[in-house]
């Protein structure tokens, strides 16, 4: 298959809003793929190269090479070129890599060059399209989409699920939980308050639910197989070497093969949680603060798969495996007032809120479903920084006021601006963001530095107001920065639809 075919389909997919049309376009493309091309094509549709590291960055692919007039590159040739670049190391590798890039880009048309640049820098917009790709795979391989989705979540990869799907339904069903292979984590939906969450989970007022403390640290999934321990983040990145305390706790537990889900948290000496910013920088730099794991779910223990077991069974297994100091605080109740009191206590103890959980539900890997409902007293959105303004006065020389965007599939840039803020930034954050945003700069207009939309930021706000100033027709009131979120990609930021759903009246 020619790369040009894939690029053209990607452009068509981006240009239509209809999910059905997107699936049909992708199915058309997948129908023309040869078996040995499948993994590469599915990986590219998901916005990723197959090589995790190529040694290439933005600068490495920004130099203009004259484009080819006619398309000739095949997807396999592109994959081979990146595989060869990934192997380069040592002296002379920089020059060799430059040569390889010039070769590859010299054979690409202008449209292909733009696509190559985007995929190398992780900027392909169809990265959000994994679910649509899974649907197309199911259609072409003639297997149920639920089976493809489940396999992708359990294998942590749509590529692996696609390969199995084309081998048939049995191969797909054979993909199960494997200790040592990360699973997409279960996600939570949200409710405005505890009463609303209880009304959803216990409509008759007599069904018991679990109310967990919501700790504000870093999501961790911990796999132990004998002496081998693997710790991954929410996006399945391996952070084992950065969290020796978590590895030690995992090795101390009374079972030799298990998978645990939880949150890693830095605690001060008096047991209060430290700000997420500090937890995150601890993982980046391994300095002084002790990090402790707090687990809230278990997916496997010594040969027993628990993914499909109801919540109360998983919690019983968790309590048997993990001693109390390493478990998240939890209340089981059917009483909304008791749940509310527990939430108030939890917030008073310095935590972020609570997560209410359906005790009859299975572990829905990779899904943001109704079985887990989070309640936080302060409303926040995860937005993407589109531009930054140079500060003045005390902030002279620093990039200060950030322009905030929500995801918007219908906008040509993929984002729509909702407002600006320079509030909530510490001096450390200002220094960090100045460097960060200069590295993402695309162009300048007066004192505004426009950046590639790659940095996600969590914003707290007091409300939304209708506004003619911004194209989305909405503006945030009293927006302030809570933290930068390096554990989320722009594809995981909040959408304009989510923002609109928060407008009352
Ligand atoms: N007891 C708990 N149960 C489940 N998740 C918890 C718990 N304590 C903390 N968390 C964190 O809360 C998150 C659940 O919210 P959600 O699935 O919406 O993820 P998120 O988008 O990262 O949310 P947020 O920005 O609110 O942390 C989990 O990813 C996890 O990191």
- Partner residues linked to 259 by β-bridges: 223, 300
Buried b (16+ CB within 10 A) or exposed e, 38-70: bbbbbbbbbbbbebeebbbeeebbeeeeeebee
- Partner residues linked to 188 by β-bridges: 369
As given in the structure block, the two tokens for residue 476 are 């945030």
Which residue among 374, 482, 490, 493 is best mutated to probe the pocket of ligand 1, counting the most ligand atoms within 8 A of its Cβ? 374
Q: 352 alpha carbon to ligand 1 midpoint, in Å?
A: 10
State whether the beta carbon of 374 lies less than 6 angstroms from ligand 1: yes
**Which of 22, 214, 376, 420 does the annotation list as catalytic?**
214
pLDDT tens-place string over residues 312-356: 999 999 999 999 999 999 999 999 999 999 999 999 888 889 999
Mean pLDDT confidence for 247-259: 98
Q: What was the pLDDT predicted at 460?
A: 92
Distance CA 114, CA 75 (A): 15
pLDDT tens-place string over residues 389-413: 999 999 999 999 999 999 988 887 8
Q: Find out whether 219 is annotated in a ligand binding site.
A: yes
Q: What interface predicted TM-score (ipTM) does this complex get? A: 0.95
CB of 26 closer than 8 Å to CB of 148: no
256 or 48, greater pLDDT: 256
* Share above pLDDT 90 across residues of the chain, in percent, rounded to a whole number: 67
Buried b (16+ CB within 10 A) or exposed e, 220-240: bbbbbeeeebbbbbbeeeebb
Mean pLDDT confidence for 146-166: 94
Question: pLDDT band for position 275 (50/70/90)?
Answer: low
Mean pLDDT, the chain, integer: 90
CB of 68 closer than 8 Å to CB of 107: yes
Which residue among 186, 210, 216, 219 is best mutated to probe the pocket of ligand 1, counting the most ligand atoms within 8 A of its Cβ? 219
Phi-psi domain of 215 (left: phi exceeds 0; alpha: psi -120 through 50; beta: other) = beta
251 or 65, greater pLDDT: 251
Q: What was the pLDDT predicted at 61?
A: 77
- Partner residues linked to 391 by β-bridges: 396
Q: Is 197 helix (H, G, I), strand (E, B) or coil?
A: helix
pLDDT of 273 over the 80 cut: no
Q: What was the pLDDT predicted at 491?
A: 86
User: Is 376 in the active site?
Assistant: no
Distance CA 456, CA 15 (A): 24
pLDDT tens-place string over residues 195-224: 999 999 999 999 999 999 999 889 999 999
CA-based nearest residue to 166, from 138, 193, 185: 138
């Amino acid at each position: 298959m020619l790369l040009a075919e894939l690029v053209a389909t990607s452009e068509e997919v981006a240009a239509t809003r209809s999910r059905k049309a997107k699936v049909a376009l992708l199915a058309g493309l997948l129908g023309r793929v040869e078996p040995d091309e499948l993994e590469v094509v599915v990986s590219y549709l998901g916005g990723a190269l197959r090589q995790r590291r190529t040694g290439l960055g933005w600068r490495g692919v920004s130099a203009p090479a004259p484009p080819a007039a006619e398309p000739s590159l095949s997807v396999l040739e592109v994959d081979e070129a990146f595989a060869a670049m990934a192997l380069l190391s040592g002296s002379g590798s920089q020059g060799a890599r430059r040569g390889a890039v010039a070769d590859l880009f010299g054979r690409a048309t202008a449209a292909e060059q733009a696509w190559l640049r985007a995929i190398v820098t992780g900027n392909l917009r169809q990265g959000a399209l994994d679910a649509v790709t899974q649907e197309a795979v199911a259609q072409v391989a003639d297997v149920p989409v639920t089976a493809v989705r489940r396999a992708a979540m359990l294998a942590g990869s749509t590529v692996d699920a696609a390969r199995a799907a084309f081998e048939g339904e049995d191969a797909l069903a054979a993909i199960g939980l494997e200790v040592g292979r990360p699973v997409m984590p279960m996600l939570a939906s949200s409710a405005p308050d505890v009463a609303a969450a209880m009304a959803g989970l216990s409509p008759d007022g007599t069904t018991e639910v679990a109310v967990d403390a919501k700790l504000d640290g870093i999501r961790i999934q911990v796999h132990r197989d004998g002496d081998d321990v693997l710790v991954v983040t929410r996006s399945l990145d391996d952070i084992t070497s950065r969290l020796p305390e978590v590895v030690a706790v995992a090795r101390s537990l009374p079972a030799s093969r298990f998978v645990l889900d939880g949150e890693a948290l830095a605690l001060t000496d008096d047991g209060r949680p430290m700000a997420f910013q500090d937890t995150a920088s601890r993982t980046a730099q391994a300095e002084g603060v002790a990090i402790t794991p707090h687990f809230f779910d278990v997916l496997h223990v010594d040969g027993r798969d628990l993914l499909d077991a109801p919540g109360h069974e998983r919690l019983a297994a968790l309590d048997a495996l993990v001693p109390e100091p390493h478990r998240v605080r939890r209340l089981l109740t059917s009483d909304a007032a008791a749940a509310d009191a527990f939430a108030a206590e939890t917030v008073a103890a310095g935590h972020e809120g609570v997560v209410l959980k359906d005790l009859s539900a299975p572990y829905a890997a990779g899904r943001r479903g109704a079985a887990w409902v989070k309640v936080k007293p302060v409303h926040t959105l995860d937005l993407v920084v589109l531009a930054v303004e140079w500060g003045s006065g005390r902030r002279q020389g620093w990039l200060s006021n950030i322009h905030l965007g929500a995801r918007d599939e219908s906008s040509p840039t993929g984002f729509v601006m909702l407002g600006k803020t320079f509030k909530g930034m510490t001096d450390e954050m200002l220094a960090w963001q100045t460097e960060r945003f200069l590295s993402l700069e695309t162009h300048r207009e007066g004192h505004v530095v426009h950046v590639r939309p790659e940095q996600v930021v969590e914003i707290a706000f007091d409300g939304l107001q209708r506004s003619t100033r911004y194209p989305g027709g909405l503006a945030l009131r009293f927006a302030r920065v809570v933290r930068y979120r390096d554990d989320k990609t722009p594809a995981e930021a909040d959408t304009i639809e989510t923002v609109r759903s928060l407008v009352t009246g």
